[in-house]
Amino acid sequence: MLDFLQAVSDGVLFGATYALIGIGFTLVFGVMHKINMAYAAASIGAAYSGLLLLEVMAGAPPAAVFACAFLAGGLLGWVVYLACFHFIPLSHPLATLMSTVGMLLLIDEVVVHATDGMPQNYPAMFDDVMLHAGEFTLRGDLLLVFGVCVAAMACLLALLYRTRLGLATRAVSQQPIAAQLCGIQVAQVNAITFVITGLLGGLAGAMIGASVGTLSPLLSGPLTVKGLVVTVIGGLGSIPGAIVAGLLVGGFENVFQLYRGVTERDLYVMLLLFAFLVFRPGGIFAPRGGRD
Amino acid sequence: MLELKGVTRHFGGVRAVDGLDLLVPEGCIFGLIGPNGSGKSTTVNLITGLFPLTAGTILFRGERLDDLPTHRRLQKGIARTFQNIRLFGRLTVWQNLWVAQNSPEDRARRSFFARWLGGRRRARDEIAHLLEFSGLAHKADEFAANLSFGEQRRLELARALAARPRLLLLDEPAAGMNSEEIGQLRERILALRARGITILLIEHVMELVMGVTDRIAVLNFGQKIAEGSPAEIQADPVVRKAYLGGGAT
């Protein structure tokens, strides 16, 4: 029983990174009605860019590496927007899907070439801290990961619900044509959405690196799949849905990792996805009348 | 104010608007009427830039609009409402107006320094004024999706006004309204003209069109079949045949 609780809590803490990735997919989908397949790869790529700081400045504090990954994420988000969306006809349903798949492979290739395909160590913070409650423990590094992700989500929600830019973003997602005719520059809102989701992705990538301890180009494939699973389970376009689903998937996979081993766990995540597609295809938070 | 010269738009083989010439003078309330499918809404969409022109040109205050994207036309001073309501449903009434304040004056006001010189307060005052004008002050914090039909129509108008238009395109603003609401709409339209806003009114409800416009153009099959004062249009035999259905007035 204790093992079970321990697995759930570790999994939910780590699940915050899935929640961020899910938010990235869902936000772009909400605003543009497009899937950005390159998102998880760009997030991992941004986390790698954080390591560049260690190359230039050996002994840079982990927080600086994370900040570097965060900023690189925003930059990569903008590059992905320009390369895969800006000049490609959005009315064509498959064009941007293919361009982002191409970008996913490209980013992975760049990472493989830059690191010779070797996994790289990633710095962590508070990895020597352990909080004990009887037999039950909370890892300090995971708590930091969770805290950083939650803070990022809180900032995002404040941005979307309190600022003019956020309201314009939601206006575009609810009524793209009317938004245009109200003088909102839809192309600019789209680009900004990519930068914002990119920042979140860079942070998520860094947090994944910090909690796993290493980064490998093999991470981006499974992370893409998990991000999409989280998005579907949460309900496409729903941010609260992505948050809940991210934590759910994190806890769920960690329980199966405990009982069935790391090689089998993703199988059960896929079964969870199929269960949702059959019984609740709209996700946990099926979108209400208007998209948001 | 607004001039259309030979404006044409084809959808496949259909000539939705076909060589339309129109001159809307400044400060006037101009009616555009015609049977369903005669090209009225397409004309509005062409003026606001939702689709490109097949042929012809559109001038606004002497300037060609043809190649400007939609949001630039709004900044030039052209705003519109929609026949089928398109509000931002999950934003509040107040927020619907706030995101629509995109005139050049408002943009300048949002620059870093202007903000601290009372720009924010002026933006709020203006929203309060618009809420008052459209009778929505008590609903400011309600989600737009939760408003009644009549209130949503009023909010559509207020949102278009938030952009400080010189020219306002109203696409069937009275659709689905009862005659008391139409009376209020009429008052609002006249009040807007008194403020110097030119209005292009597209409407089926003759009670409103005949009572409020200075001049009317009639479309049929994408072409203008008549133009004149409301009295002339009512008396025109071609119009009566095509549109009013013989005996109706």
> How many pairs of residues across A and B have Cβ atoms under 8 Å apart?
67
The answer to whether the beta carbons of residues B172 and B44 sit under 8 Å apart is no
pLDDT computed for residue B248 by the predictor? 42
Q: What is the mean pLDDT of residues A85-103?
A: 91
Interface test with A, best of B99, B101, B127 (most A CBs within 10 A): B99
pLDDT computed for residue A75 by the predictor? 97
Interface test with A, best of B68, B71, B73 (most A CBs within 10 A): B71
Are B119 and B236 found together in one domain?
no
**The domain boundary residue, chosen from B159, B178, B201:** B159
Residue B97: closest C-alpha in chain A: A182
The CA distance from B226 to the nearest CA of chain A, in Å, is 30
Q: What is the mean pLDDT of residues A194-205?
A: 97
Q: Is residue B169 part of a domain?
A: yes
Quote the ipTM score.
0.87
B48 near A CB under 8 A? yes
B100 near A CB under 8 A? yes
**The domain boundary residue, chosen from B115, B136, B159:** B159
Are B141 and B39 found together in one domain?
no
Are B218 and B236 found together in one domain?
yes
Positions in chain B whose pLDDT score sits under 70: 115-116, 243-249
Q: Is residue B16 part of a domain?
A: no
List CB contacts (< 8 A) between B48 and chain A: 181
| Identity of the residue in A175, A177, A184 whose CB atom sits nearest the CB atom of B50 | A177
H helices of chain B, where?
40-48, 70-76, 93-98, 104-109, 112-114, 120-133, 149-161, 179-194, 206-212, 230-235, 237-239
Residues of A in CB contact (< 8 Å) with B are 164, 167-168, 170-171, 174-175, 177-186, 288-292
* Phi-psi category of residue B111: left, alpha or beta, with phi > 0 → left and psi -120 to 50 → alpha: beta
Are B149 and B226 found together in one domain?
no
pLDDT computed for residue B221 by the predictor? 87
Task: Give this prediction's pTM.
Answer: 0.89
pLDDT computed for residue A132 by the predictor? 83
| Identity of the residue in A164, A181, A292 whose CB atom sits nearest the CB atom of B90 | A292
CA neighbor of A66 nearest in space, from A224, A229, A247, A201? A201
B136 near A CB under 8 A? no
List CB contacts (< 8 A) between B86 and chain A: 175, 177-178
Percent of chain B predicted with pLDDT > 70: 96
Q: Is A14 helix (H, G, I), strand (E, B) or coil?
A: helix
Q: Do A164 and B99 touch (CB under 8 A)?
A: yes
Name the domain count of chain B. Answer: 2
The CA distance from B216 to the nearest CA of chain A, in Å, is 25
Are B130 and B31 found together in one domain?
no
The CA distance from B234 to the nearest CA of chain A, in Å, is 33
| Identity of the residue in B70, B71, B88 whose CB atom sits nearest the CB atom of A174 | B88
pLDDT computed for residue A286 by the predictor? 67
Interface test with A, best of B47, B48, B70 (most A CBs within 10 A): B70
Are B200 and B92 found together in one domain?
no
pLDDT computed for residue B247 by the predictor? 44
- Cα–Cα dist B175/B201, whole Å: 12
Are B113 and B219 found together in one domain?
no
At residue A18, does pLDDT exceed 70?
A: yes
pLDDT computed for residue B233 by the predictor? 87
CA A147 to chain CA centroid, Å, is: 15
pLDDT computed for residue A61 by the predictor? 92
Q: Is residue B114 part of a domain?
A: yes
Any idea what the CATH number is for the domain that residue B30 is in? Answer: 3.40.50.300
Are B217 and B142 found together in one domain?
no
List CB contacts (< 8 A) between A292 and chain B: 90
B47 near A CB under 8 A? no
- Cα–Cα dist B121/B141, whole Å: 18
Are B153 and B32 found together in one domain?
no
Q: Do A181 and B80 touch (CB under 8 A)?
A: yes
Q: How confident is the model at residue A263 (pLDDT cuts 50, 70, 90)?
A: confident
B79 near A CB under 8 A? yes
Are B219 and B191 found together in one domain?
yes
The CA distance from B54 to the nearest CA of chain A, in Å, is 20
Q: Is residue B130 part of a domain?
A: yes
Task: Considering only the C-alpha atoms of chain B, give the largest distance between any 2 of them, rounded to a whole number of Å.
Answer: 63
Buried/exposed A94-118: b ≥16 CB within 10 Å, e otherwise: eebeebbbebbeebbeebeeeeeee
Q: Do B89 and A174 touch (CB under 8 A)?
A: yes
Q: What is the mean pLDDT of residues A216-234?
A: 92
pLDDT computed for residue A290 by the predictor? 42
What pLDDT digit, counting tens, does each position of A125-161 carry? 888 888 888 788 888 889 999 999 999 999 999 999 9
Q: B234 lies in which domain range?
A: 26-52+60-77+165-249
- Cα–Cα dist B186/A141, whole Å: 66
Q: Is residue B19 part of a domain?
A: no
pLDDT computed for residue A196 by the predictor? 97
Q: Do B163 and A179 touch (CB under 8 A)?
A: no
- Cα–Cα dist B242/B219, whole Å: 9
**The domain boundary residue, chosen from B159, B184, B201:** B159
CA neighbor of B161 nearest in space, from B120, B213, B100? B100
Are B40 and B110 found together in one domain?
no
Are B135 and B180 found together in one domain?
no
Q: Is residue B120 part of a domain?
A: yes
